[in-house]
Amino acid sequence: MSNIMILGATSAIAQHVARLYATRGDQLFLVARDKAKLKAIADDATSRGAAAVYTYAIDLSDNTRHTSLFQRADQDMGHLDILLIAYGTLGDQKACEMSVTTSLAELQTNCLSVISILTLAANFFEQHQQGTIAAISSVAGDRGRQSNYVYGTAKGALTIFLQGLRNRLSKAGVTVLTIKPGFVDTPMTQDFKKGLLWVKPEVIARGIVKAIDRRKDVAYLPFFWRYIMLVIRHIPEFIFKKLSL
């Protein structure tokens, strides 16, 4: 049995990850803003066979609440085997271009608050000399594109932070996993036109659990995004800047 903390537990991907661990009989600590939604997910996990489910309703974009996370988890479960950071927003790029405040708020939610949590988590895991820290970044962080570079900046910075953390924590036996999903059909993307590359959140969830089981460092989900992004990263800048991606 593993002890698993999921931040942003009400997101579509995180819900499916929680189901998979619950079915295995693991112990869950679920964090999100909305109490009622957390209860629905906790009830579901308990029905599926989770050993125990704890919930904690806070706004994760508020950095001042982060210390309490690990205190609570420590109280409730003793130690942590897996931390999954799954919250985030896909802000409106156009709105970000019009407003500094909006841009910075995007960066706060998707990058700075995550770095705040990761900093605390790193010390917590380093002390226990074991476990996995997994965070959902994005293929959008692999190269800046006009359509969503504010979101891309946040995820790109997060990817680099995770890289450094992995380098540091490998000495302590702690795994750091960077998850880079492609297009996922979730409420966050409900207004997008869906094509062939889109997958359901349960597919991403299965990929996440598998990557954590195998102690991988970086997981593109589904796998083919590794190759798509390989191509995209290698387009020369003088051509790339003229494309409308």
Q: Using the 8-state DSSP alphabet, how is residue 227 labeled?
A: H
* Least distance between other proteins and beta carbon 106 (Å): 23
| Shortest distance (Å) from residue 23 CB to other proteins | 8
Binders of other proteins in range 190-229 (CB under 8 A): 190
Q: Which of 25, 35, 47, 217 binds other proteins (CB under 8 A)?
A: 47
- Tallying the residues shown for the chain, one arrives at 245
Question: Which is it for strands 27-32 and 52-57: parallel, antiparallel or unpaired?
Answer: parallel
Give which of 19, 3, 38, 50 is closest to 204, Cα–Cα. 19
Between 43 and 213, name the residue whose CB sits nearer to other proteins: 43
Shortest approach of other proteins to residue 90 CB, angstroms?
16
Query: Quick check: 37 binds other proteins (CB under 8 A)?
Result: yes
- From candidates 48, 72, 166, 226, binder to other proteins by CB under 8 A: 48
CB nearer other proteins, residue 44 or residue 92:
44
> Who's near 65: CB < 8 A, 6+ residues apart?
58, 59
In 153-200, the DSSP E strands lie at 175-181
Nearest to 25 by CA among 55, 53, 54, 51: 51
For other proteins, which stretch binds (CB under 8 A), given 34-42, 89-97, 108-116, 123-131? 34-42
User: Would you say 43 or 59 has its CB closer to other proteins?
Assistant: 43
Smallest gap from Cβ 40 to other proteins, in A, equals 5
Nearer to other proteins, 44 or 76 (CB): 44
Strand 82-85 relative to strand 132-136, pairing: parallel
Q: Which of 9, 30, 41, 212 binds other proteins (CB under 8 A)?
A: 41
Nearer to other proteins, 164 or 187 (CB): 187
Determine phi and psi for 142, rounding to 5 degrees.
-80, -25
| Range 166-195, binding other proteins (CB under 8 A) | 187, 190
3-class secondary structure, 111: helix
Q: How many residues bind other proteins (CB under 8 A)?
A: 11
Which residue is listed with tokens 């995004």?
225
As given in the structure block, the two tokens for residue 184 are 């996922």
Cβ partners under 8 Å of residue 213, min gap 6: none
Residues of this chain that interact with other proteins (CB under 8 A) are 36-37, 40-41, 43-44, 46-48, 187, 190
